[in-house]
Amino acid sequence: MKQNLINIDNFLKKFNLNRQYLRKNGIQIETNENTYFPKEELESGWLMNLYSEFSKKKQEHIDSMAIVGIGAGVESLLFIEMFKLNKLYCLDINKGVLDVAYNNVTNNLNEDVNISLVTKYSDLLDYLISNSIKVNIIYENLPNLRLSNNLQIERGLTTASFYSEANKKENIDIPAMYDSCMLRLHYRFLLQAKECLLPGGKVICCIGARIPISIIKNMFNDLGYKFTLLRIGVVEQLSAEEVLATYSDLEDRSKNKFLFFTHNKSKVKAILEQYHSESDIKVFFDSLFGLGISATQALAIVQAGKRVDHLGLIIEGELL
């Protein structure tokens, strides 16, 4: 177990939050080998984008929320402060993160904060469904790649990039297009979320996109959601060798090419800055595609000691 002290003053200032729920002084976060904990990203980087999007919802009445894939619990704390939540369900399939996340949340809240915090083992939203629980917002930041037989879910940070689907038999037919684009877990999540949202409720999905965005949009629409792309950015590929080897292998076995970029490519950043809510997603994506490299090329770059990026999307889905 490792202790981390995070300074979130900048974060609170940026989003005009006043530590009503969070304890004074920095927050103390314990991590173990199972908890995904991107410390640097908290103060700048991609997570800030996520919180910026959430902060725009501060005026909406958000009483209850569920997070699927909880990491060390930092996001849970920030959402509690941002929305003054009454109920929060923290769900994860990795038993190794549940107690750590629960303690991190409760230890950093003021003693008089009255919140119902439920931290449960759950394959996606199974826990909410089997207890007929509905919430205002469900947030997911789930991996795209399925664990192969020789990787274990308990094997530390690989769980940030790989998922396991418990041991149950599934009766869900996932369209081949979404399956081959590694969207299987997101598809199952969206399908389940329909049963777990209160009227007017929304899902917020963080999806690492290495395929055309129009395919992801179609998946939301096919499942009955209005798709809104809140944010698009480049994110460094973490666990790069393992992840790229898997995507490269998929490229060898199918016609699919996945999309990566050399790290910090300025032309990509310049195009991303032009994105706005009226942009045609297909045209926009096509303009990025020419700047990209395949997984196999990206793997060679990483093996030569360099870094690569991929697209990260923050998507809002609202039931039609």
Ligand X SMILES: C[S@@+](CC[C@H](N)C(=O)[O-])C[C@H]1O[C@@H](n2cnc3c(N)ncnc32)[C@H](O)[C@@H]1O
Binding residues for ligand X (CB under 6 A): 36, 68-72, 74-75, 91-94, 97, 122-124, 141-143, 159-160, 163, 165
Comparing CB distances to ligand X, the nearer of 121 and 275 is 121
For 60, phi and psi rounded to 5 degrees?
-75, 155
- What string of DSSP letters covers 185-212? HHHHHHHHHTTTEEEEEEEEEEEEE-S-
Least distance from ligand X to the Cβ atom of residue 58, Å:
20
- Name which of 251, 114, 92 is nearest 185 in CA terms: 92
HEC sequence for 79-129 = HHHHHCCCEEEEEECCHHHHHHHHHHHHHCECCCCCCEEEEEECCCCHHHH
CA distance 185 to 296: 23
Rounded to a whole number of angstroms, the minimum distance from the CB of residue 86 to ligand X is 21
Q: 214 is written with which tokens?
A: 């129009």
Exposed / middle / buried, residue 240 (Cβ in 10 Å: 0-12, 13-18, 19+) = buried
Between 187 and 258, CB nearer to ligand X:
187
Nearer to ligand X, 92 or 309 (CB): 92
Q: Which of 32, 22, 140, 142 is nearest to 78 (CA)?
A: 22
Rounded least distance, CB 241 to ligand X, Å: 17
User: For residues 251 and 265, what is the distance between their CA atoms, to the nearest angstrom?
Assistant: 23
Min. distance of Cβ 140 from ligand X in angstroms? 8
Q: Cα separation of 40 and 238, whole Å? A: 13
- Beta carbon nearer to ligand X, 143 or 317: 143
Smallest distance, Å, CB 227 to ligand X?
21
Tell me the closest approach of the beta carbon of residue 270 to ligand X, in angstroms: 27
Q: Which is nearer to ligand X, 70 or 295 (CB)?
A: 70
Q: Are strands 308-319 and 225-236 parallel, antiparallel or unpaired?
A: antiparallel
CB of 267 to ligand X, least distance (A): 28
> CB of 135: closest distance to ligand X in angstroms?
15
Phi first, then psi: give them for residue 220, nearest 5 degrees: -60, -50
- Give the residue with the Cβ less far from ligand X, 80 or 93: 93
Residue 33 vs 241, nearer CB to ligand X? 33
Q: Which residue is nearest to ligand X (CB)?
A: 71
User: Alpha-carbon distance 246 to 151, whole Å?
Assistant: 12
Nearer to ligand X, 142 or 181 (CB): 142
